[in-house]
């Protein structure tokens, strides 16, 4: 609901947060990517988002604060679970907002998500700053830092790595 976006923006303004990846917003649009502008305390906030399903599930977006709004260049929907946003600058910034399928989804759905994510990552120019924001629904186990030291630190929450965790590690290694 629009009131929830206002709450999110107010919290970001209070805590000096300039960009937020949003998953499961449930907003619907007929556009590939839509924009909602909100003004709070004389400041403009931009919400770039792709549509949730007709049943009101999913949807990914990026909330952009007033410090970054003038650097916004474009957004594009990669899939129902991935939004790509570009910012002007030197260097340019590319933000990928993603929402991975949960552990119980079919392997084909998870494969398609990670294939799309890898492809869009590969397509970002090498000189751009690349930021991945999202809910990747991945669990990394306590020994992840030993098995994948280039990807994982020693402070994980879960005891065991599950399938989505292995997929995330493989993506990061690639």
Measured CA to CA, the distance from residue 70 to residue 118 in angstroms comes to: 28
User: pLDDT digit string (tens) for 76-90?
Assistant: 999 999 999 999 999
State the pLDDT at residue 53: 83
pTM: 0.89
State the pLDDT at residue 52: 84
User: pLDDT digit string (tens) for 127-136?
Assistant: 999 999 999 9
Q: Tell me the two tokens of residue 41.
A: 């305390």
Residue 53: C-alpha distances to residues 22, 25, 26, 85, 161 (Å):
15, 11, 8, 21, 30
Measured CA to CA, the distance from residue 89 to residue 71 in angstroms comes to: 7
Q: Name the β-bridge partners of 64.
A: 19, 46
Measured CA to CA, the distance from residue 114 to residue 156 in angstroms comes to: 22
Instruction: Answer for the pair 130, 124: CB distance below 8 angstroms, yes or no.
Output: yes
State the pLDDT at residue 139: 82
Residue stretches of the chain with pLDDT short of 50: none
Residue 36: C-alpha distances to residues 30, 52, 82, 95, 113 (Å):
14, 15, 18, 18, 26
Measured CA to CA, the distance from residue 74 to residue 76 in angstroms comes to: 7
State the pLDDT at residue 146: 65
């Amino acid at each position: 609901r629009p009131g929830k976006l206002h709450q999110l923006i107010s919290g970001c303004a209070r805590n000096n947060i300039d960009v937020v990846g949003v998953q499961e917003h449930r907003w619907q649009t007929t556009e590939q990517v839509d924009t909602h502008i909100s003004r709070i305390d004389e400041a403009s906030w931009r919400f770039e988002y792709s549509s949730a399903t007709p049943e009101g599930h999913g949807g990914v977006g990026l909330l952009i604060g007033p410090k970054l709004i003038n650097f916004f260049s474009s957004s594009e929907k990669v899939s129902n679970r991935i939004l790509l946003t570009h910012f002007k600058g030197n260097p340019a910034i590319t933000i990928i907002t993603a929402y991975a399928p949960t552990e119980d989804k079919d392997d084909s759905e998870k494969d398609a998500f990670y294939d799309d994510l890898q492809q869009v990552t590969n397509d970002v120019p090498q000189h751009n700053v690349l930021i991945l924001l999202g809910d990747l629904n991945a669990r990394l186990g306590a020994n992840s830092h030993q098995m994948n030291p280039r990807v994982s630190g020693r402070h994980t929450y879960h005891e065991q790595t599950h399938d989505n965790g292995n997929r995330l590690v493989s993506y990061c290694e690639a």
